[in-house]
Structure 1
Amino acid sequence: MTATRLTAATSIFTAVAASALLVGCSAEAEVRTSEAKMSKNKLADTVAEKLAETTGQPKPKVTCPDDLAGKVDTTTRCELTAGDGSTLGVTVKVTSVEGDQINFDIKADDTPTPATN
């Protein structure tokens, strides 16, 4: 029982630590299309990779509901799900587009949403 609580607490701590580290975090990805656009799966994978790189933690589960249009100031919301089922919202905002390359900032919410039982 104690190990389960410790695991849950560790997951929540990781999510909170991730949110603190992601403030002002930037990423870029090159997309090969006639109109700059990143698929929701590629976006989720890129956000997860950046999160893992920034925190030194394993790559988390991230989902994004929509493709990201390559237009400056476009935003979308993705969701990080921790091992205990708690979630953390992540805002992605396009900062620049250079041909097929979309550059964006990532900002995680300050507080995770606890898992529903």
Structure 2
Amino acid sequence: MATARLSAATCGLSAVAVGALLVGCSASVNVEKAEPKLSADKLSTTVAEKLAATTGRPKPDITCPDDLTGKVGTTTRCTLTADDGSTLGVTVTVSSVDGGRINFDIKADDKASPAPN
């Protein structure tokens, strides 16, 4: 089972048109494989849960198209889609790996993209 932790001291929040935005947040997840890897679906869920827990709002719609490999420095891009259809890019970067635990930082882009017409 995957678990995640969030350090309030490493999290900052800003409000943008798409709602609350996660900046400089950290999380970690346990995975049980020889080469730690977190599936795109589990990564999407974990990022959404961290955002919801930090902001006190419902889980946002987060989509991560790629798995996250447990190698320091590895990054993947996810997308937060707001209720109005606007989107915000989110970068997930592996900060450390401890056995089967992948620790990663979550940083949202500074600007949202408007909803398609």
TM-score when scaled to structure 1? Answer: 0.83
1:76 and 2:76 correspond:
yes
Q: 1:37 to 1:96 in 2, by over 3 A?
A: same
| Equivalent position of 2:113 in the other structure | 113
In structure 1, distance between residues paired with 2:73 and 2:103: 11
Distance 1:85 1:42 in 2: 23
Distance 1:25 1:74, change over 3 A: same
Q: CA deviation at 1:12?
A: 2.2
Q: Could you say what secondary structure the match of 1:71 adopts?
A: coil
Matched letter for residue 60 of structure 1: P
Contact 2:62 2:81 in 1 (8 A): yes
Q: Which residue of 1 aligns with 2:38?
A: 38
> Which one scores higher on RCO, CA 8 angstroms, separation ≥ 6?
1
TM-score with structure 2 setting the length: 0.83
Deviations 1:1-24 (A, max 9, x none): xxxxxxxxx98251xx31xxx222
Q: 1:23 maps to what in 2?
A: 23
Structure 1: tracts of 5 or more residues without a match: 1-9
Percent identity between the two aligned chains: 66
1:102 maps to amino acid: I
Give ranges in structure 2 of 5+ residues lacking alignment: 1-14
* RMSD value, Cα: 1.5
Bigger strand share = 2
Partner of 1:92: 92
8 Å CA contact retained: 2:77, 2:90: yes
Letter matched to residue 35 of structure 1: E
* Separation (CA, whole Å) in 1 of partners of 2:98 and 2:39: 17
User: In structure 2, what residue type is equivalent to 1:12?
Assistant: A
